[in-house]
Structure 1
Amino acid sequence: MSQNIEEEIKPQLQEVFVLSGAPTYTFVEPVEYARLLVSLRTKGRSIVVEGPSGIGKTTAVINAISAAGISNATQLSARKRKDIAQIESMLLDPENLGTVVIDDFHRLSSKTKRDIADLMKTLADEGASHSKLVVIGITNAGQSLISFGRDLANRIEVIPFETNPDHKVEELIEKGELALNVSLNVRAALVSDSQGSFYIAQMLAYNTCLRAGVLEQSEELVETEESFHAVKAQVMEQLRRSFHDRAIAFARGTKLRREGRAPYLHLLHWLSQSDSWSINCMRETDRHPAQRGSVHQVVTKGFLADLISSSPEIQEVLHFDEASNTLVVQDPQFIFYIRNLSWHNFAEEVGFISIEFPSRYDFALSFAGEDRDVAQALFDALVENEVEVFYDLNEQHRILAADVEEYLAPIYQSEAQFVVCILGPTYPRKIWTKFESANFKERFRDGQVIPVVLSTTQIGVFDETGKVGYISWDRSKDFSKELQSAVSVLLQKCGDGRKAL
C-alpha cells in the first residue's frame, strides 16, 4: 500500500511543466519580485504590474501575495463577464476591499479604468490599511491609468516586467529537470527560443519530455536524446490548429487586396520581431517607410480597431489600444507561432501577389493644379486599395523646409514603380510639371509611365505620350465611373509588376 501511495504522489509532467495555471515545482522569482513584495507590504499604495504576456506577471503576484502573508486577496479577470460585474460593483462600494487583483486590466472599459484610477488615488490619500488594488496588464498599462489623472503618478507603484533574462529561464528548466529526474539535452535551445518567456519555456520543455516519454518523475536519471527541430515542429503543428486561421484572418484584414502592400500582414510580422511583444504602429511606419501610407490608412481610419473588435477569435490573441496606437500580443503561444512562421509561404497563403516591393512607392502622381480633383480622387481610391502613392498634399510635412527639387527628383526618377501623369490642357505650361516630367521622361521606354489623358486636352501636345498606351478620362462622363475604370487598370498594372518580381 505504501508503495502505491508513493507512486501516486510522484510529480507528473503536467504538474511540473505547466501549460495552464500557476506552477509550483517550476516557479522562479522574476527580477522584479523583491520590488513587488515590498510594494504589497506598503499600506494604501496600489500597484500596476505591466509587461508582455507569458513572462510570469500573474504567477509572481500570486506568490508574492502569499509571501507577504496576505490572506484576504480576491483575484478577478477582465476576461470573465462575472468578474467584470464584480469589479464594477466593488467600485460602487469600495469599503474594506482587502487586496484585489485585477488581471487583464487593458480589456476593461475606459469608464471602469477611470473609476479604478480614482479609487487608487483615494486609497493612497487615506493611507488605507484595509484595501489595496493590484492591476495586471499589458505594456503601458500604468501609463493608461495615469492618463486619467496625472496626480496619480506619485500615488501608485508601477512595476514593469520585462522579458526574463536567460539565467532565470534556465533556472525554471533546471527546477523541472530536478522534479522529474530528467536531463534535457536541448536545454540551451529551450532557453534561447523561449526569448524570456516563462510560459514558452514551460511549453517547450513539456513537449520535449512528452516526446521522450517522460510523463512523471523517474526512479533513474533520464537523459533525453531529442532533436529540438522535431520538438519545435511538433509544437508548431499543435499551435497551427489553434492560431493559423485567425492569423490568416488578421493578415487579410477587412478585405483582401491582392495588389496592396499588406498592412495587416506587415503589422503581424513586425509584432513577431518585437522583444516586448508590442509595437507602436505609427513608430513602425517610420522604420518601414514602404508601408507608411497603407498602415497609416488602416490605423487612423479605425479599420484596425474594427477588425479586432469584430472578431472574438482575434481578440483572444491581439489587443489594440487606440489612444496610444499600440498593438499587443495577448497570448504567449501566439507570439511563438508567428515568430516561427515561414513568412513568404504565409503571405502566399493569405493571398498576396508579393510582399517584396521594388520601390518606395507604387505610384507617383504628376499633375497640374487645375486637375487636382482627378489627382485627389485617384490618390484616395488607390490608398483605399492599400498601395503606396506619392501625392504632394500627403507629403507636405516632409517637403516643408526641404530642398523641393532634391526631394522630388528621386521619387520621379526611380522611387516610384510607376509615374501616373494626369495630362490636362495646362500640364505642359506649369513649372513643376516640367520639372517632374524632365525627371521621369526616360522611363517611358520601360513602360513605367502611365499617362491619364483628360478629354479636355489634345494628345498631340505630349510627344512621348503618343508612343505609349494611356488611360482616357472623359470629363463629360460620370466622374465616379471614370475613376473606377482608371483605378482598375492601375491596380492591374501594379499586380503585373509584382508578379514579375
Structure 2
Amino acid sequence: MSATINLEDVFKLSGIPTYTFVEPNEYKKLMVSIRTKGRGVVIEGPSGIGKTTCVLQIIKDLGLKGDFRVLSGRKRRDRAEIENLLTADSFGGVILDDFHKLDGEIKSKFSDLLKVLADEEVEDSKLIVIGINKTGKSLIEFSNDLRNRISIIKFESNPEEKVKELINKGEEALNFSLNIKDEIVKEAQGSFHIAQMLAHNACIASKISERCNEKSISNLSYESLKESVLSELDLSYSDVVTNFVKGQRVKKGSRAPYLHVLYWLAQADEWSINLQELLVHNPTHKNSVGQILTKGHLKTHFESDERFSDVMYFNSDTSEVSIEDPKFSFYLRSVLWTKLARKIGFYSFDFKSSYDFALSFAGSNRDDANYIFERLSDNEIAVFYDNNEQSRILSENVEEYLAPIYRSESVYVVPLLSPQYPTRIWCKFEGDVFQARFGSNSVIPLRYSDCPIGMFDATNGVGGFSIDVNEPRESQLDSFVQLLVDKIHEKRIEDAENSNMG
C-alpha cells in the first residue's frame, strides 16, 4: 500500500519542497560554483524566489548534505557562531543566509575571508553567502579585487513558465487540477513562495488535504481565494502597515513620507527600491521623504519596531529598502493607498506642488526663517528654505532656479516683511516673481512691527501675522507656525474634497 501524499508536503508553506522543486534558470551555474572547491559563492536576489531552497537542493543532489550547516544573519543565536568563522582554521561547509542583516564591520571581515579562501585555494572550507539584491556589490566595495575570486550569482524573479511548472508538479502529486492555475501563476509575480501559498490555500478551499483517488478539478473564483488569503494575512500585517505609515505619530499637515516609502515599495518589480533614485523621479517628495531620509528619521523609525525588520530591510548607507517576507509583498499589492491615507488622517496622497511653503526673507531675519523651517519640517511639511537647497542650487542659474518656486511650485509664499526686506536684491527679485499671486490667496506675509507704515502697500488687505519686535520672539513664531500648519491642513482637506467631487 503506497503512503498517503499530504497537501502540506506538496504545496509547502515553508521548508524544502518535496514534490514541487523546480530548477531555476541559475541552477546549473550555481551547481558548478558550489562544486568548485575553495571558491566562495555569493547569491543575491529578491526574497521568496527560491535562492536558499535551490542551494539546499543542489547540496542534496551533490551528496554533500552532511557537509554543510546553515547559519542566518537574522538569528541572534547564530551570531556568535558566524563570528567564529572569521578566526577558524577551517569550518567545513557553511551557508550564510540573510547576509545583509550583518553589520558593516562583520561584512568587511567576511570580504577579507572570502579573498583568503580563494587565494589559498582552501579545500576544507566552503562559504556560500545568500542575501538580497546587491549583496555581491557590498562585499566588493570592501575589497575591490574580490570580484574575480568569488562567484556572484544573481537570481531574478522566476519566469511564469517556471512558476507554472511548480503548480503542475503539485497537481500531479495530488491528482487534482486547479481551475485558477493561470491566475495564481500571474499573481505570484515570479515568487515560488507566493505560488505555494496560493495553491495551498486553493486546495484547502476545495477541501483537498491529500492525494485524490480519482482525478478532479477545482471550481474556484480567484477573487474569493484572494480575499480569503488577504483576510488571513491582514491579521499579521495590518498593524505593521498602519504603524509604519504613521511614522512616530500622525502630524497635522504632513505629506505622509512614510506612507510613500511603503507605497513605492509595493509598486517595485523586484521588491526593492532605492529612495535616492526615486526622489530624482519624484521631486515633489524631496522635502518630505528626503527629509526623513537625510535627517535619519527613517532609520530611527525602522529601528523602533522589531516587526518592521521582520518584513523589510533598510540600508541607511545606500537608501535601499527591500521586502524580506514574500507574503508581505503580496499583502502590500492589495492595499488601497488613498483609502488607507484617509483612514489614518492624511487627506492628500498626490501632491502637485514641490513645496507647501516658500520662505522669502532678508539675511538679517535668517534665524527666524530657520526656526520656521525647522518647526514646519518637524511636521513633515515641505518648505523651500535656501540653506536647505544649497547643493541643488550649486552651479545653477539662481534666478532660473528660484523663479518657478515662488511663481507656482509652492502652495504658499511666506515673505518675512522686515525693514531690511525691500533693501535686499534677492528679496526684490522674489517679490517681483510672487507679486502676481496676490489675490489668489497664496501669499501669507509675516509683518514685523518696526516696519514703517506704507512700506509694503501691496500686502494691505492680505491676511498675515504680525511680530512684535519688542516681545519674546520664539513664542510668537510658534503661534505663526501653528497657523501655517492649520492652513496647509485645511488646504489638504479642500483638495481631497475637490478630488472626490471630480
Equivalent in the alignment of 1:447: 441
Equivalent in the alignment of 1:90: 85
Q: Choose from 108, 111, 114 the match for 1:117.
A: 111
Task: Report the secondary structure of 2:151's partner residue.
Answer: strand
Alignment CA distance shift 1:258-1:214 (3 Å): farther
One-letter identity of the residue aligned with 1:80: K
Task: Report the secondary structure of 1:453's partner residue.
Answer: strand
Deviations 1:218-249 (A, max 9, x none): 12222112111111111111111001101111
Q: Choose from 290, 295, 301 the match for 2:295.
A: 301
Equivalent in the alignment of 1:256: 250
One-letter identity of the residue aligned with 1:83: D
Moved more, 433-442 or 149-158: 433-442
Asked whether the equivalents of residues 117 and 149 of structure 1 are also in contact (C-alpha less than 8 Å), the reply is yes
**Gap runs ≥5 in structure 2:** 496-502
Equivalent in the alignment of 1:353: 347
Alignment CA distance shift 1:462-1:102 (3 Å): same
Task: Report the secondary structure of 1:119's partner residue.
Answer: helix
Equivalent in the alignment of 2:36: 42
Equivalent in the alignment of 1:468: 462
Equivalent in the alignment of 1:127: 121
Equivalent in the alignment of 1:270: 264
What is the rounded CA distance, in whole Å, between the counterparts of 2:289 and 2:276 in structure 1? Answer: 8
Residue 86 of structure 1 and its aligned partner are, at CA, apart by 1.5
Equivalent in the alignment of 1:310: 304
Q: How many equivalent residue pairs?
A: 494
Q: Choose from 178, 181, 184 the match for 2:175.
A: 181
One-letter identity of the residue aligned with 1:406: E
Q: Choose from 387, 391, 401 the match for 2:385.
A: 391
Q: Choose from 72, 75, 78 the match for 2:70.
A: 75
Equivalent in the alignment of 2:499: none
One-letter identity of the residue aligned with 2:413: V
Residue 459 of structure 1 and its aligned partner are, at CA, apart by 5.2
Of all paired residues, the percent bearing the same amino acid is 47
Alignment CA distance shift 1:123-1:445 (3 Å): same
Deviations 1:84-105 (A, max 9, x none): 221122322232x211001111
Task: Report the secondary structure of 2:148's partner residue.
Answer: coil
One-letter identity of the residue aligned with 1:225: N
What is the rounded CA distance, in whole Å, between the counterparts of 1:369 and 1:160 in structure 2? Answer: 53
Moved more, 186-195 or 469-478: 469-478
What is the rounded CA distance, in whole Å, between the counterparts of 2:477 and 2:12 in structure 1? Answer: 58
Asked whether the equivalents of residues 413 and 440 of structure 1 are also in contact (C-alpha less than 8 Å), the reply is yes
Q: Choose from 231, 249, 262 the match for 1:237.
A: 231
Equivalent in the alignment of 1:140: 134
Compute the TM-score of the two structures, normalised by the length of structure 2: 0.95
Task: Report the secondary structure of 2:343's partner residue.
Answer: helix
**Gap runs ≥5 in structure 1:** none
Q: Choose from 426, 429, 436 the match for 1:432.
A: 426
What is the rounded CA distance, in whole Å, between the counterparts of 1:350 and 1:56 in structure 2? Answer: 36
Equivalent in the alignment of 1:149: 143
One-letter identity of the residue aligned with 2:264: W
Residue 380 of structure 1 and its aligned partner are, at CA, apart by 1.9
Aligned-residue CA RMSD in angstroms?
1.6
One-letter identity of the residue aligned with 2:383: V
Equivalent in the alignment of 1:325: 319
Deviations 1:252-278 (A, max 9, x none): 112321311111110000001111111
Q: What are the residue-to-residue correspondences of 1:187-226 with 2, within 5 Å?
A: 187-226=181-220
What is the rounded CA distance, in whole Å, between the counterparts of 2:17 and 2:437 in structure 1? Answer: 64
Equivalent in the alignment of 2:498: none
Task: Report the secondary structure of 2:86's partner residue.
Answer: helix
One-letter identity of the residue aligned with 1:249: N
Task: Report the secondary structure of 2:391's partner residue.
Answer: helix
